[in-house]
């Protein structure tokens, strides 16, 4: 099993900054405003050839001023429960606060390895403030600066020394093994986090009816029912003019980045409001990034008339045209309808993206179709296509060699795409067709 290391502490002690420092890139949103991190955020870390999974958590508090404070604390305890090692982060620029003592009492009750990590030493003027934190009673203590990396090497050396003699199972792609990454995307409040929680059968991510609840893009490894993949919960992508604060702007940018880094995107659409202009924009982002796509009409338990599902599907196909060859599932997290079925389809699409068709087979199938249904004459000139091949790209791209490539009409290009989809089953996959002079 992958070893888990949690970073815990009160708000604004630098947990997300340390998390980003250790995993090597900016995954968690960092802001001086407290309460920015809400869910547990997972990242993969490798140090001296030893792999482990790092967990960023929200700031612990004993004062519940809003709906999220209580849920953040629940995520804090979930992280403690699943961790093998815990990094207790404190800020010496202030004296020990009551909340620091409370967290230390919680940690002392655990039969786990705890490191006291004194952060922000680069900003410290009085070194005696550091020794004050020794009162918290932890034997293993490290002084670091998460902003410039001072002391983090020594901290990592100590972490991997514990894990050195244990077998680990990679959180991300194993050697010579492809594990698909599936991004759950959509507008705010369409049920993305609820869907992941239902699949995992636990409260992995915070759920509320307030839009913008999820901020970071959250990855979790899923292995059930013969399915092995990484699920990515993302922030709701709303229209630019409706984004009112910097934190939400960064959340949306991370969601778009998750689309770019995924293999397949599951686009959730609210069954009540239907497919709106913003849904179509997200669809186009996925298509333009050449990612596999599945449409999930979520909360379908609210649709009482089943005949409406056929109308709904027909309307969506019209909206997303010309790329209509997309799987559409009516899902419900409440009734657990079509969730596993949609995941299995997503896995098939992910592996289909990697499919490379032999040039001989491609020509054997496509050239007879092109000869039977040739391109119409242009100014009396016949348009011929004598050869085709698949390009060595990540997503399926095909090149067709013609005597007049610039004269080929869009309608004929769509015809060829349609035949490629029929013969090689590229459902849910954007494909590109190029014409070059033979």
Here the CATH number for the domain that contains residue 82 is 3.40.50.300
Task: Enumerate the H helices of 14-145 as residue ranges.
Answer: 15-23, 67-82, 98-108, 128-132
The answer to whether the CB of 221 falls within 8 A of the CB of 181 is no
What pLDDT shows up at residue 348? 94
What is the DSSP track for 308-358? HHHHHHHHHHHHHTT-----EEE-BTTTTBSHHHHHHHHHHHHHHTT----
Q: Are 330 and 403 contained in the same domain?
A: no
Boundary of a domain, candidates 136, 163, 190: 163
Do 34 and 156 lie in one domain? The reply is yes
- What pLDDT is stored for residue 27 in this prediction? 59
Alpha helices in 149-276 (DSSP H): 152-163, 192-200, 246-261
Q: What is the pLDDT of residue 2?
A: 63
The pTM (predicted TM-score) of the whole model is 0.64
The contacts of residue 177 (CB under 8 Å, 6+ apart) are none
| Residue 323 belongs to a domain | yes
Torsion angle of the four alpha carbons 385, 391, 396, 401, in this order, in degrees rounded to the nearest 10: -10
Structure confidence at residue 39 (pLDDT): 58
Is residue 176 assigned to a domain? no
Q: Tens digits of per-residue pLDDT, 170-200? A: 444 444 568 899 999 888 888 888 888 888 8
Q: CB of 88 within 8 A of CB of 10? A: no
Q: Is 263 exposed, middle or buried (0-12, 13-18, 19+ CB in 10 A)?
A: buried
Do 283 and 302 lie in one domain? The reply is yes
CA 227 from chain center: how many Å?
Answer: 17
Q: Do 129 and 150 sit in the same domain of this protein?
A: yes
Q: Is 408 found in the same domain as 264?
A: no
| Residue at token pair 């410290």 | 124
Q: Looking at the structure, tell me whether residues 147 and 265 fall in a common domain.
A: no
- How many angstroms separate the CA atoms of 425 and 68, rounded? 45
In a domain, 105, yes or no: yes
The answer on 389 and 317 residing in a single domain is no
Question: What is the C-alpha separation between 191 and 346, in angstroms, rounded?
Answer: 18
Same domain membership, residue 151 and residue 249? no
List 52's β-bridge partners, or say none: 45
First to last CA, the chain: 54
Nearest in space to 429 (alpha carbons), one of 243, 247, 297, 286 = 286
DSSP string of 35-65, one letter each residue: T---S-EEEEEEETTEEEEEEE-PPP-S---
> What's residue 218's pLDDT?
67
With beta carbons less than 8 A apart as the criterion, state whether 232 and 182 touch: yes
Last residue of a domain, one of 318, 336, 352: 352
Q: Does 171 reside within a domain?
A: no
- Domain end call among 352, 376, 398: 352
In the chain, the number of structural domains is 3
Q: Do residues 159 and 25 both lie within one domain?
A: yes
Q: Is 99 part of any domain?
A: yes
The answer to whether residue 34 is domain-embedded is yes
Regions in the chain scoring below 50 on pLDDT = 29-36, 38, 167-175, 205-216, 242-248
Does residue 399 form part of some domain? yes
The answer to whether the beta carbons of residues 250 and 212 sit under 8 Å apart is no
**Domain of 236?**
181-352
Task: Give counts: helices (H), strands (E), the chain.
Answer: 12, 17
344 and 363, same domain (yes or no): no
364 lies in the same domain as 347? no
Q: What is the 3-state secondary structure (H, E, C) of 368-400?
A: HHHHHCCEEEECCEEECEEEEEECCCCCCEEEE
Write the CATH number for 364.
3.30.300.20
Distance CA 161, CA 224 (A): 32
Spatial distance between the Cα atoms of 263 and 292, rounded to a whole number of angstroms: 6
Q: Are residues 256 and 310 in the same domain?
A: yes
Look at residue 366 and tell me if it is in a domain: yes
């Amino acid at each position: 099993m992958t070893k888990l290391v949690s970073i815990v502490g009160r708000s604004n002690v630098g947990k997300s900054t340390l998390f980003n420092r250790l995993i090597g890139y900016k995954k968690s949103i960092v802001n001086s405003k407290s309460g920015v991190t809400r869910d547990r955020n997972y990242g993969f870390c490798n140090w001296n050839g030893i792999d482990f999974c790092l967990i960023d958590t929200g700031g612990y508090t004993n004062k519940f001023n809003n709906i999220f404070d209580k849920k953040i604390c629940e995520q804090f305890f979930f992280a403690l429960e699943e961790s093998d090692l815990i990094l207790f982060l404190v800020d010496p620029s202030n004296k020990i606060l009551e909340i620091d003592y409370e967290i230390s009492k919680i940690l002392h009750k655990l039969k786990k390895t705890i490191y006291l990590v004194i952060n922000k030493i680069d900003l410290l003027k009085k070194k005696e403030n550091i020794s004050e934190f020794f009162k918290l009673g932890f034997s293993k203590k490290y002084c670091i600066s998460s902003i410039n990396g001072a002391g983090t090497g020594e901290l990592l050396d100590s972490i991997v020394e514990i894990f050195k003699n244990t077998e680990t199972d990679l959180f991300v792609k194993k050697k010579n093994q492809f594990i698909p990454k599936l991004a759950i995307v959509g507008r705010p409040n369409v049920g993305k986090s609820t869907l992941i929680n239902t699949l995992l059968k636990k409260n992995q991510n915070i759920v509320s009816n307030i839009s913008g609840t999820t901020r970071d893009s959250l990855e979790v490894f899923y292995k059930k029912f013969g399915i092995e993949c990484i699920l990515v919960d993302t922030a709701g992508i709303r229209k630019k003019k409706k984004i009112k604060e910097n934190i939400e702007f960064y959340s949306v940018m991370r969601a778009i980045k998750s689309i770019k880094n995924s293999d397949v995107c599951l686009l959730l659409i609210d069954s009540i409001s239907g497919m709106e202009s913003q849904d179509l924009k997200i669809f186009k982002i996925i298509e333009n990034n050449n990612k596999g796509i599945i449409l999930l009409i979520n909360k379908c338990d609210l649709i009482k008339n089943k005949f409406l599902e056929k109308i709904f599907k027909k309307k969506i196909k019209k909206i997303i045209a010309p790329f209509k060859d997309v799987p559409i599932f009516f899902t419900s997290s409440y009734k657990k309808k079509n969730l596993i079925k949609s995941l299995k389809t997503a896995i098939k699409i992910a592996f289909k993206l990697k499919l490379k068709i032999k040039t001989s087979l491609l020509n054997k199938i496509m050239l007879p179709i092109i000869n039977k249904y040739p391109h119409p004459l242009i100014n009396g000139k016949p348009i011929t296509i004598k050869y085709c091949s698949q390009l060595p790209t990540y997503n399926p791209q095909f090149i067709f060699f013609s005597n007049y490539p610039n004269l080929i009409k869009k309608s004929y290009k769509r015809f060829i795409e349609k035949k490629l989809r029929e013969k090689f089953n590229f459902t849910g996959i954007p494909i590109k067709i190029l014409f070059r002079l033979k």
